[in-house]
Structure 1
Amino acid sequence: MRASLIQIAVDQDEPVDSRRARVAALVREQRGADLVVLPELWPTGAFAYESFAEEAEPLDGPTFAALAPAARDAGVFLHAGSIVERAPAAPEGRPDGHSDGGPDREVLYNTSLVISPEGVLVRTYRKIHRFGFDKGEATLMSAGSQITTAAAAGAVLGLATCYDLRFPELFRSLVDAGADVLAVPAGWPARRREHWTLLARARAVENQSYVLACGTAGTHAGVEQAGHSIAVDPWGEVLGEAGNGEEVLTVDLDITRVAKTRSQFPALKDRRLGLPAPDGIA
């Protein structure tokens, strides 16, 4: 599998429709790749909280409309990063338990889109772990609740987004669901760049999977982005790493290496699950 990670520079002064057109052109340039991955919330900027409600869109909204033909023209599976999705609230209100929901109220999600080479939306993933510590995304968006995988180009993608990277139990669940490539779009801040690359390698090693972690460049609402999109193999070796600016990182993955690694070093089978809770502190 040939994978291209497009590390998009997000400039808040660039109109969103112009950025969609520019990114669609970049996707079309990846003909010859099997999989293309875009970053988290690149239409709005991951930290541009004040724009979330205004720029929110349905799954078949302007971002999908711009990128579906680009995926078809390039003949690639496209992980289109994520959008601010506007969706009807669940009948009982907001699914994350917030009290301001209601049967007729719309809610927002941080939602990833996976588009086939035919330009069809084949999978979505609503980000489970929202960043902000009771501020920003954590209060503006509802939480997803579904472990999500997608078959793409002979691999099974495990879908996660940005802050999800800090929660290893999610990735073990993705592996249990059959994932051999973990795709992580992000809008990761530059001040924690070392965490970004460390956690990407850790998720690869502990799950004996490829990790494709695609971030943004530029500055979102005053927050400098880490860039440094990274591809890691099942042994934790870095196959490629981008710099700070807009860049396309292309790597070749041997998907059969996942099964070989898990066979040669079968650590996953030694997991001990369901151990009893401790009685107390000794």
Structure 2
Amino acid sequence: MQVTLVQLAATLDSAANRAQVEARLSDLDGSGLVVLPEATMHDFGPADHDLAAVAEPLDGPFVDLIAREARRLGSTIVAGMFERTDDLPYNTLVVVGPDGGLAATYRKIHLYDSFGYRESERLRAGAIEPVVVPVEDLSVGLMTCYDLRFPELARALVDRGADALVVPAAWVAGEHKAEHWRTLLRARAIENTVWVAAAGQGGSRYTGRSLVVDPWGTIVEEAAGGDELVTAQVAVDAVRASRDVNPSLANRRMSTP
């Protein structure tokens, strides 16, 4: 299956972001899975920016756009948004199938209360419910940005059948951050013998470097920091082959409490 990662820099103008997404997807062709970054609907903005005021329902204009584009492309699209509630919004990934229907949602479990930032003051954490969704012949597990630092979530997704992990992110730039991003993505692939496809926001604020890692931990495609597309062929046979040689999941003797 072809996977396309769309690296972009969102703004504080939701309508402009929708127009950007529509333009970036206009020339795509042949991808079974298209992945957009975390917060594609609307950027996080400064710490005092009210995300509740801009959050949208799951039947709002952002998801409507993603549904139209999924139908047009005949692809499954994963994209990040802020989902409206009666209080703080969720940091949500929507998965829209090629028929335009909402196939799944994942509400970010681990909020980014780290590196001097407190995402939990602006957003609410999702329930601890790992989400795996079928896309063609793959089972795809969903993680968002800071979730990457918690290997137990990746393992829970694999235990639920995931043979690929998809990681939309707005990975804030800074000292050590690009090294952490690349290292953690490769580690999640190696320790779980799965594909990892990570779509990051680019621009000056974020790390960019969207990439695809194979089940051996090899980076097969990687972007730099600008508006780029990353395309790779992802096959479940590679997962089976790596697990035949390295059956570390089958060799486990410890279980989580």
Aligned position for 1:195: 180
Q: CA deviation at 1:135?
A: 5.0
Q: What residue ranges of structure 2 are gaps of 5+ in the alignment?
A: none
**Which amino acid in structure 1 is aligned with residue 164 of structure 2?**
V
Aligned position for 2:124: 142
Stretch deviating more after TM superposition (69-78 or 265-274): 265-274
Aligned position for 2:246: 265
C-alpha contact 2:165 2:195 (8 A) present in aligned 1: yes
Aligned position for 1:244: 225
Aligned position for 1:74: 73
Stretch deviating more after TM superposition (145-154 or 200-209): 145-154
**Which amino acid in structure 1 is aligned with residue 53 of structure 2?**
E
Aligned position for 1:42: 40
Residue 167 (structure 1) aligned with residue 150 (structure 2):
yes
Aligned position for 1:5: 5
Stretch deviating more after TM superposition (265-274 or 209-218): 265-274
- For 1:60, what is the secondary structure of its paired residue? coil
Q: After superposition, what is the alpha-carbon deviation per residue over 1:54-84, rounded to whole angstroms, capped at 9, x for unaligned?
A: 210111111101111111111111012x111
User: What TM-score, normalized by structure 1, do the two folds share?
Assistant: 0.85
**Which amino acid in structure 2 is aligned with residue 161 of structure 1?**
T
Residue 179 (structure 1) aligned with residue 185 (structure 2):
no
C-alpha contact 2:11 2:42 (8 A) present in aligned 1: no
C-alpha contact 1:44 1:51 (8 A) present in aligned 2: no
- Give the direction of change, closer, same or farther, for the CA distance of 1:241–1:106 in structure 2 (3 Å limit): same
Whole-Å separation in 2 of the counterparts to 1:150 and 1:120: 13
Q: After superposition, what is the alpha-carbon deviation per residue over 1:97-133, rounded to whole angstroms, capped at 9, x for unaligned?
A: xxxxxxxx43311010000011111000000000024
Aligned position for 1:84: 82
Q: CA deviation at 1:144?
A: 1.2
Whole-Å separation in 2 of the counterparts to 1:31 and 1:173: 32
Aligned position for 2:141: 158
Find runs of 4+ consecutive structure 1 residues off by over 6 angstroms. Answer: none
C-alpha contact 1:11 1:218 (8 A) present in aligned 2: no
C-alpha contact 1:185 1:215 (8 A) present in aligned 2: yes
Whole-Å separation in 1 of the counterparts to 2:256 and 2:73: 49
Aligned position for 1:116: 97
Q: CA deviation at 1:48?
A: 4.1
- Give the direction of change, closer, same or farther, for the CA distance of 1:121–1:274 in structure 2 (3 Å limit): closer
- For 1:268, what is the secondary structure of its paired residue? coil
C-alpha contact 2:50 2:122 (8 A) present in aligned 1: no
Question: Share of identical aligned residues, percent?
Answer: 41
C-alpha contact 1:24 1:70 (8 A) present in aligned 2: yes
Aligned position for 1:125: 106
C-alpha contact 1:85 1:108 (8 A) present in aligned 2: yes
C-alpha contact 1:28 1:73 (8 A) present in aligned 2: no
Aligned position for 1:29: 27
- For 1:217, what is the secondary structure of its paired residue? coil
Aligned position for 1:101: none
User: What TM-score, normalized by structure 2, do the two folds share?
Assistant: 0.93
- Give the direction of change, closer, same or farther, for the CA distance of 1:139–1:62 in structure 2 (3 Å limit): same
Aligned position for 1:205: 190
- For 2:182, what is the secondary structure of its paired residue? helix
Aligned position for 1:218: 203
Stretch deviating more after TM superposition (48-57 or 188-197): 48-57
Residue 55 (structure 1) aligned with residue 54 (structure 2):
yes
Q: CA deviation at 1:273?
A: 2.0
**Which amino acid in structure 2 is aligned with residue 76 of structure 1?**
S
Whole-Å separation in 2 of the counterparts to 1:274 and 1:237: 27
Whole-Å separation in 2 of the counterparts to 1:226 and 1:148: 25
Count of aligned pairs: 252
Structure with the greater alpha carbon radius of gyration: 1
Whole-Å separation in 2 of the counterparts to 1:251 and 1:274: 33
C-alpha contact 2:209 2:225 (8 A) present in aligned 1: yes
